[in-house]
A = this chain, B = another copy of it.
Amino acid sequence: MALSKDELRLLGENCSEGIFRKGEVILSEGSLTSHIIYLQSGLVKEYIKSGDQPECIVQIIQNRAYLGLPSLFGDRINHYSYAALTDVAVCFIDVAVFKQFILDNGRFAFEILSTVSRDSLTNYHRFISQGQKKTYGKLADTLLYFSKAIFRSNRFRLPLNQNEISYLIGTSRESVSKQLNSFIRDGIISLRRREITINEPEKLEQISRLG
């Protein structure tokens, strides 16, 4: 951490905690940023839902991450909405204090810059890779992402329903259903309710690679 004790105390004084239940909206797109939100625990989806257009999920955000930094430094208007996928604990930090820290403390600025940069690289990579792939490739990507980056296990509970998965990978709900069942028929995964087991991660990797 790049902050001194005094700075941490100052940050603590300008910070309040919040709890959100599964399904609740934490922040809505279009609003002006008054607080930075730091996700202490839980899973959140970042998404757009404009008018009658179908929802579009940008990414799933985990533990120990800020929500919407690019919006804060980009143009100060929230570009995305955030909703809790599980029960969630967050911390609201005053924007003015946060910005002052960046201006005053180069190492803190550097750290935030690194965070935003890493997120950019990860997301660009995901978007690009998805842009080239067929539905099975994208779905394989998504399952591997959950398994490796989020749950670190071959067995977990899907954090999204099929509709949401389709919003994430840009396809139709029916295609998700059909493709999942085709993975099941091939023995690559098992699925009961939302509990999924990846039986053959290598095969899934291969499908992801071949697109």
- A residues contacting B by CB (< 8 A) are 48, 54, 56, 58, 69-75, 79, 99, 102-107, 109-110, 112-114, 116-121, 123-125, 127-128, 130-132, 169-170
Contact = CB atoms under 8 A, between A and B. Distances in A.
A169 to B, nearest CB: 8
Given A106-B105, A119-B120, A121-B75, A131 B131 contact: yes
A100 to B, nearest CB: 9
Given A102-B110, A131-B170, A72 B117 contact: yes
A110 B119 contact: no
A117 B70 contact: yes
Given A106-B103, A107-B103, A113-B102, A131 B127 contact: yes
B109 A113 contact: yes
A74 B124 CA distance: 12
A120 B109 contact: no
Contacts of A105: 106
A61 to B, nearest CB: 13
10 contacts: A56-B132, A58-B128, A70-B116, A73-B116, A79-B125, A103-B110, A106-B109, A112-B113, A113-B113, A131-B169
A116 B118 contact: no
B102 A48 contact: no
Given A58-B128, A109-B110, A119-B120, 15 more contacts: A70-B120, A71-B117, A73-B114, A73-B118, A74-B117, A74-B118, A75-B121, A102-B106, A103-B107, A106-B106, A106-B109, A112-B113, A116-B120, A120-B120, A127-B128
A73 to B, nearest CB: 4
A80 to B, nearest CB: 9
A121 B70 contact: yes
